[in-house]
Amino acid sequence: MAFEHILFDLDGTLTDSYEGIAKCVQYALHYYGIEENNEENLKRFIGPPLWESFHIFYDFPEEKAKEAVLKYRERYHTVGVYENKVIAGVPETLKTLYDNDKKIYLATSKPLKLAKIVLEHFDLAKYFTFICGASLDFSFEDKASIINYVLENQHIENRSSAIMIGDRKFDIIGAKQCGIKSVGVLCGFGSEDELKEYKADYIVPEFPDILSIIMK
């Protein structure tokens, strides 16, 4: 069947945000006397809620981990958010979906305010029916909660008509928890092994390849 409601992750799916996120993580860690230059360690911050990454990877207690996010935001809100670039084929693919009357939504664990800045900066916001992002107070950032909010807010009762597009396991897990199909894209930060392990319904090498799934 053709899918009518298309939900997208942001970081690693629509944009390559590694530079901005990595530099801001380094900025925050430096505040605590930690110098981190390993690219793979920095990439781990892309996908899950930031405070969880500080907590899990650097053993920060929850309060300190959330404080580290505030330090991260000092740089990200003014500089890091713009250290970003659109992934190849994204504007053209979104336009194709839009022109074919597909409903396009954003479901990201990035704070809503920042997600809107990114989409508007790259002239992508015009394609989206609804944009959903995390709250700044850490109370709303779990990917399944965000996906479910989009589905309920937009009154998408037939969940078989919806599909989630993302690059990490968090997108796949969230989609499964909400009862919708998922596509893992390999143009982002997740590996094919990761997407297979968490049983993405489809896996595509390049972003425009999602059209072969959505439009059939």
Q: β-pairing, 15-16 with 130-134?
A: unpaired
The three-state secondary structure class of 1 is coil
Distance CA 117, CA 97 (A): 22
Distance CA 186, CA 100 (A): 24
DSSP one-letter code for 11: B
**Angular region, 86: left φ>0, alpha ψ -120 to 50, beta rest:** beta
The pair of three-digit structure tokens given for residue 202, joined into one six-digit string: 């489809």
The pair of three-digit structure tokens given for residue 190, joined into one six-digit string: 């997740």
Distance CA 133, CA 69 (A): 16
Select which of 9, 11, 142, 167 is catalytic: 9
Residue 9 falls in the annotated catalytic set: yes
Q: What is the DSSP string of 50-77?
A: HHHHHHHHH---HHHHHHHHHHHHHHHT
The residues that are catalytic are 9
